[in-house]
Structure 1
Amino acid sequence: MPQPLKMTSAQMVADAKARIREVDAPEAIEMAQRDDVVIVDLRDPRERERIGYIENAFHCPRGMVEFWVDPDSPYFKPIFGEDKTFIFHCASGWRSAITVATLQDMGMQNVAHITDGFKSWMESGGPIVGPKPKEG
């Protein structure tokens, strides 16, 4: 029998979404054209290879994000020190919602996520690089 949880993953996502900025895919597609915006892809490399990715998106695997944004971490990535708005995404918006809430808790500002993730980006006609999902 699994351990009883105090909070489900769905509750964590709902709590995160209640306190972060969400950007729908059409707005994210428009924002991606700006020099002061960085789209950050949290998905696993295999997801990116299988489905494709947003051109010029910065790839930051979900498991490294807290370390890559922290200037005191040996893993810090300078892109996160730039004065930009960072729009995070995953496949469907769950991982990115929790990520943005965590980054806000760390003190990061100008962060948001794509409401329904890469799926909604593609459904809204956003340009992608790499293979597209098979139709059928």
Structure 2
Amino acid sequence: MPLTVKAMMEAANAVVKRVDTDFAQQVMEQGGLLLDVRDAVELQQTGRAIGAHHIPRSMLEFRADDSLQSHDPELRKDRPIVLYCAAGGRAALAGKLLKDMGYEQVYNLGGLPDWINGGGEVSS
């Protein structure tokens, strides 16, 4: 049977814990990474969470694989990572991908509005 987005989202949500802004800020204070996986145009339109690192979802595999020259050193398997996108779907799928690649402490904040509604600040 072909894989569906619904099935992929269910699998992602089953393994990537959903967290709030307070949790994300605590992770950051302890050296964790807040990761924005939206496209560059979205960042230009709405800004990003203060302190967030940006890797578009479309490039995540290439930045997360430490055997590749394109690896982003901000991504370390021993570092907690909290992801967000616009609404939470891409963050969940990205989190599942990172877990499949051996990253253990991966969390889904949801979307940028969740960050803002939780009191998080945004840079332009």
TM-score (norm 2): 0.88
Among all aligned residue pairs of Structure 1 and Structure 2, give the percentage whose two residues are the same amino acid.
29
- How many angstroms does 1:96 deviate by? 0.8
1:11 equivalent in structure 2: 7
2:61 equivalent in structure 1: 66
1:57 aligns with 2:17: no
Partners of 1:73 and 1:23 in 2: how far apart? 30
The structure carrying a bigger strand percent of its residues is 2
Partners of 1:119 and 1:42 in 2: how far apart? 14
Partners of 2:106 and 2:39 in 1: how far apart? 20
From 62, 77, 84, the counterpart of 2:72: 77
After superposition, the C-alpha distances for 1:66-125 in whole angstroms (9 at most, x for unaligned) are 1111111121111113742111111111001011111111111121121x3212111222
CA contact (8 A) 1:39 1:88 kept: yes
Corresponding letter in the other structure for 2:101? M
* Paired residue total: 124
Corresponding letter in the other structure for 2:10? A
Partners of 2:86 and 2:22 in 1: how far apart? 16
1:117 aligns with 2:102: no
RMSD, aligned α-carbons: 1.8
Larger radius of gyration: 1
CA contact (8 A) 1:41 1:90 kept: yes
- How many angstroms does 1:7 deviate by? 3.4
1:28 aligns with 2:24: yes
Counterpart of 1:80 in 2: which secondary structure? coil
1:102 aligns with 2:105: no
Corresponding letter in the other structure for 2:112? F
Quickly say closer, same or farther: Cα 1:82–1:13, change in 2 above 3 A. closer
2:82 equivalent in structure 1: 87
CA contact (8 A) 2:50 2:122 kept: yes
Gaps of 5+ in 2: none
- How many angstroms does 1:21 deviate by? 2.0
Counterpart of 1:71 in 2: which secondary structure? coil
